[in-house]
Chain A
Amino acid sequence: MEIPAARDPVSAVREAFDDAVLHVKQFRGETTLVVEPARLPDVLDFLRVSSGLVYNMLSDVSAVDYYPDDYGDEFDGDDGEYRPGRFAVSYHILSMLYNRRLRVKAFAAEEDPRLPTATVVWPAANWLEREIADMMGISFDGHPDQRRLLMPDDWHGHPHRRDYPLGKETVAFSFNEAEIRKHKPFAQN
Chain B
Amino acid sequence: MAVAAQAQSIEEQRKWEGSLDQLRGLVSERAMTGETMLLNMGPHHPSTHGVLRLLLELDGEEIVTCLPDIGFLHTGIEKSLEDKSYEKALPLTDRMDYLSPMSNNMAYSCAVEKLLDLDVPERGQIIRVICLELARCASHLVWLGTHAIDMGAMSVLLYAFRERERVLGMFEMLSGQRMMSSYIRPGGVWRDVPVEFLPTIKQFLHDFPAKVDDYEALLTQNPIWKDRAQGVGVVEPDVALAHGMTGPALRGSGVNWDLRKAQPYSGYETYDFNVPLGEHGDVYDRYLIRIQEFRESMKILNQAVARLETVKGPYRSENRKYVPPLRSELGQSMEAVIHHFKLWTYGYDAPDDEIYSAIESPRGEIGCYIHGTGANKPRRVHFKTPSFIHISALPVMSSGYLLADMVAIIGSVDIVLGDCDR
Residue numbers of A with Cβ under 8 A of B are 27-28, 30, 32, 56-60, 62-66, 70, 77-78, 81, 90, 92, 96, 99, 101, 103, 122-124, 126-128, 131, 144-145, 147-152, 159-160, 162, 164, 166-167
Contacts and interface: CB of A to CB of B under 8 A. Distances in A.
Given A90-B369, A160-B79, A81 B114 contact: no
Given A78-B352, A90-B356, 13 more contacts: A27-B354, A27-B355, A57-B241, A57-B244, A59-B356, A62-B356, A62-B380, A64-B354, A66-B379, A123-B242, A127-B388, A127-B389, A150-B71
B241 A60 contact: no
Given A60-B382, A126-B392, A30 B71 contact: no
A151 B422 CA distance: 12
A60 B354 CA distance: 14
A159 B389 CA distance: 21
B365 A59 contact: yes
B74 A150 contact: yes
B242 A166 contact: no
19 contacts: A28-B355, A32-B354, A58-B244, A59-B358, A59-B367, A60-B369, A64-B354, A65-B380, A70-B352, A78-B352, A90-B369, A92-B356, A101-B356, A124-B243, A144-B25, A147-B22, A149-B70, A150-B421, A166-B83
Interface string B76-119: 10111011000000000000000000000000000000110100
Interface in B366-400: 367, 369, 371, 373-374, 379-380, 382, 384, 388-389, 391-393, 396
Contacts of A63: 380, 382
A127 B83 contact: no
B353 interface: yes
A123 B240 CA distance: 10
Nearest to A124: B244
Contact of B356 (A60, A128, A144): A60
Interface residues of B, number: 47
Interface of B: 22, 25-26, 70-71, 74, 76, 78-80, 82-83, 114-115, 117, 241-244, 255, 257, 262-263, 351-356, 358, 365, 367, 369, 371, 373-374, 379-380, 382, 384, 388-389, 391-393, 396, 421
Contacts of A30: 355-356
Chain A: interface secondary structure? loop
B111 to A, nearest CB: 10
Nearest to A166: B83
B242 A90 contact: no
Given A28-B114, A66-B379, A60 B421 contact: no
Given A147-B22, A150-B71, A166-B83, A64 B380 contact: yes
Given A152-B71, A160-B78, A60 B384 contact: yes
Contacts of A159: 76, 79
Contacts of B382: 60, 62-63
Contacts of A148: 71
A99 B82 CA distance: 31
Contact of B117 (A28, A147, A151, A166): A28
